[in-house]
Amino acid sequence: MNEYQLISDNLEPVTFQASNSQLSRRLHAAYIEFKNKHGLNHALLYVRHSIHGWRQVIDASGGFKRINNPLTLDYEELIFAVIHTLSESDRLHTAEQREEVREKKRQEERNMNAEIKRRSFHIIKP
């Protein structure tokens, strides 16, 4: 079971949980709640990733899933977009991994600069 949010323009999101088989019913109910709460006819769909937090649902072609009318959605395509988003998020580095990579690059740059300085200085004997 995944956790989802409908969000738009920094407004308070509507959060719901649904399995793949419940997604259409739960999304429709959340959309009605979102529309009644904010008066908007569109929202962006986010899914919670266990490591990276909330991720905007994108399909395989890179398009964002904007919800205008849940009744006209192709839910099979939406489920594949959710799976795609979660699998893409699995490939991302965590904050610790990104910091390790940055530190490794800094160390390599320091070593390279030190080597350049060692080669550029020559001792001249009188």
Q: Splitting the chain (126 residues) into consecutive groups of 10 residues, what average pLDDT does each group show?
A: 89 93 93 92 92 89 83 89 90 82 93 88 73
10 Å CB burial of residue 116 (0-12, 13-18, 19+) is exposed
Cα–Cα–Cα angle for 87, 84, 17, nearest 5°? 90
The confidence score (pLDDT) of residue 94 equals 78
Closest among 1, 18, 7, 94 to 43, alpha carbons compared: 7
The confidence score (pLDDT) of residue 22 equals 92
Q: Which single residue is written with the structure tokens 């690059």?
A: 105
For the question of whether the overall pTM of this predicted structure is more than 0.75, the answer is: no
